[in-house]
């Protein structure tokens, strides 16, 4: 079946630095990808919808300048957390739309120290 690879699975970075998370569709083309964030003891929250070749659509309350999304090809979307702060520590997960539905990445655990 369809596979979405998300990398890295875990990352620790210093406050003020930027971190890039990659989401790749391995055996299908994904014109649309979604980025989610999970806060501790809460459910997933949709951050943005990433569309290949165009600007991402951000959900209300999500800072587009802080969470940069690039969907430059049909198999790759990236999320860059810029000038990370400890409150950005969270679990980020992407999903891609395939022919039969949606496939999820395995997630990235970001810790900002």
Residue 87 backbone dihedrals phi, psi, to 5 degrees: -70, -10
Query: How big is the site for other proteins, counted in residues (CB under 8 A)?
Result: 18
- HSE, CB side, 13 Å, CA atoms: give it for residue 59: 10
Q: Is 25 in the site for other proteins (CB under 8 A)?
A: no
Stretch that binds other proteins, among 20-28, 64-72, 77-85, 87-95 (CB under 8 A): 87-95
Q: How far is the CB of 62 from other proteins (least distance, A)?
A: 14
Specify the residue, 66 or 109, whose C-beta has the smaller distance to other proteins.
109
């Amino acid at each position: 079946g369809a596979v979405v690879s998300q990398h890295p699975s875990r990352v620790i970075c210093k406050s003020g630095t930027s971190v890039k998370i990659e989401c790749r569709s391995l055996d299908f083309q994904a014109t649309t990808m979604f980025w989610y964030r999970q806060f501790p003891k809460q459910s997933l929250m949709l951050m943005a919808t990433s569309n290949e070749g165009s600007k991402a659509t951000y959900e209300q309350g999500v800072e587009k300048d802080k969470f940069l999304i690039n969907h430059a090809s049909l198999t790759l979307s990236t999320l860059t957390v810029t000038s990370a702060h400890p409150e950005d520590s969270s679990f980020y997960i992407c999903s891609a739309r395939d022919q039969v539905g949606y496939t999820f990445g395995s997630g990235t655990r970001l810790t900002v120290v």
